[in-house]
Amino acid sequence: MLLKALRVGLGQLIIFLSFITRPSKMKRAPEAQASVDQAAAQLSLYQFNACPFCVKTRRTLRRLNLPVALRDAKNNPEARQALLEQGGKIQVPCLRIDEGEQTTWLYESKAINSYLEQRFAA
């Protein structure tokens, strides 16, 4: 019970620190941002709210000004099941990339952030 309280407290501290130190959003021309918004509509991030690696990935999303759908794989049974059945394992963060008929599941915050930087950074 003490361990759970400690874990919850640390999770809330991580969320708070991330909130007060969050990066500013990248500025783009309206046409460029519309193009990015359209491309980002094909992405979904499966995550846990207080996971430090998920926080790192969400900070990258904010910095790059990417409106990616967030799926709570901890508290949403449908998202958790989709992550397990389609992605193959319950591990977060996980970026789902839909490109036409093909769906790719990208795990590891470092790999996700690298992908996002290469695809969306100016």
Q: pLDDT tens digits, residue range 96-115? A: 999 989 999 999 999 999 99
CATH number at residue 109: 3.40.30.10
> Does any domain span residue 17?
no
> Does any domain span residue 5?
no
> Does any domain span residue 90?
yes
pLDDT at 70 over 70: yes
Tokens 């970026």 — which residue? 95
Give the Cα separation of 41 and 33 in Å (integer).
12
Quote the Cα angle for 111-24-118, to 5°. Answer: 30
Total domains, the chain: 1
Give the Cα separation of 99 and 44 in Å (integer).
12
> Does any domain span residue 20?
no
> Does any domain span residue 24?
no
Give the Cα separation of 122 and 120 in Å (integer).
6
Query: By CB neighbour count within 10 A (0-12 exposed, 13-18 middle, 19+ buried), where does 95 fall?
Result: buried
Domain extent at residue 66: 36-120
Q: Which residues contact 4 (CB under 8 A, 6 or more apart)?
A: none
Q: Which two tokens stand for residue 61?
A: 């999303």
> Does any domain span residue 10?
no
Mean pLDDT over 23-45 rounds to: 94
pLDDT of amino acid 122: 65
> Does any domain span residue 93?
yes
> Does any domain span residue 27?
no
Give the Cα separation of 42 and 98 in Å (integer).
5
Average pLDDT across the chain, whole number: 93
